[in-house]
């Protein structure tokens, strides 16, 4: 009987631990007070602006042209490219750079105070926005 209780307790612990770990970074950001931005807010935030963003150790600058063309570059050189973007009715910004060969990657934008982050479809934070300035190009 004691073995059955111990086994039941162990199974419950594993189940609870797995569910606690299974939450995504996006879910955690929203749980911690982040607001998922709506399409209009994403547009106001990014269109016609140069956005400086960090992805891991890399720093980028992106220009979201009002004609839905996206220009980007690594801030320390080594990469420069262009593609297209769209802001969807389901409150995401989707980007397709030339290397994506027509495939769009859609991101959810979350604001928590002054911090703005972008999350991929798996809920992993992929970009932290560090600066946003009105511009006419890179």
Q: Give residue 22's pLDDT.
A: 52
Q: Give residue 2's pLDDT.
A: 53
Q: What is the pTM of this model?
A: 0.80
Q: What is the 3-state secondary structure (H, E, C) of 117-136?
A: EEECCCCCEEEEEEEEEECC
Residue written as token pair 């935030």: 45
Quick one: tokens of 124?
A: 């992993």
Does residue 14 register a pLDDT over 50? no
DSSP run (H or E) holding 115: strand 115-119
57/120 Cα distance (integer angstroms): 18
Tell whether 9 is covered by a domain. Answer: no
Contact between 127 and 112 (Cβ < 8 Å)? no
Quick one: tokens of 113?
A: 């105070």
Q: Give residue 127's pLDDT.
A: 96
Closest CA to 118 of 138, 93, 135: 93
Tell whether 6 is covered by a domain. Answer: no
| Range(s) of the domain holding residue 63 | 24-134
pLDDT digits (tens, 9 = 90+) for 120-134: 999 999 999 999 999
Tell whether 79 is covered by a domain. Answer: yes
Tell whether 96 is covered by a domain. Answer: yes
Does residue 40 register a pLDDT over 90? yes
Contact between 74 and 60 (Cβ < 8 Å)? yes
pLDDT digits (tens, 9 = 90+) for 62-90: 999 999 999 999 999 899 999 999 999 99
3-state SS, residue 68: coil
Q: Cα dihedral angle (100, 91, 115, 128), rounded to 10 degrees?
A: -10
DSSP category for residue 89 = T
Q: Give residue 84's pLDDT.
A: 96
pLDDT digits (tens, 9 = 90+) for 86-97: 999 999 999 999
**CATH number of the domain where residue 104 is located:** 2.40.128.640
Q: How many domains does the chain have?
A: 1
């Amino acid at each position: 009987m004691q073995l059955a209780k111990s086994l039941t307790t162990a199974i419950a612990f594993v189940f609870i631990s797995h569910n606690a770990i299974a939450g995504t970074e996006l879910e955690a950001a929203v749980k911690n007070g982040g607001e998922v931005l709506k399409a209009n807010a994403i547009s106001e935030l990014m269109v016609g602006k140069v956005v400086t963003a960090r992805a891991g150790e890399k720093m980028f600058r992106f220009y979201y042209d009002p004609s839905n063309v996206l220009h980007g570059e690594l801030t320390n050189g080594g990469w420069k490219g262009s593609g297209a973007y769209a802001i969807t009715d389901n409150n995401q910004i989707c980007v397709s750079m030339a290397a994506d060969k027509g495939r769009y990657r859609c991101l959810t934008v979350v604001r928590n105070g002054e911090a703005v982050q972008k999350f991929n479809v798996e809920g992993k934070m992929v970009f932290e926005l560090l600066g946003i300035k009105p511009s006419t190009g890179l």
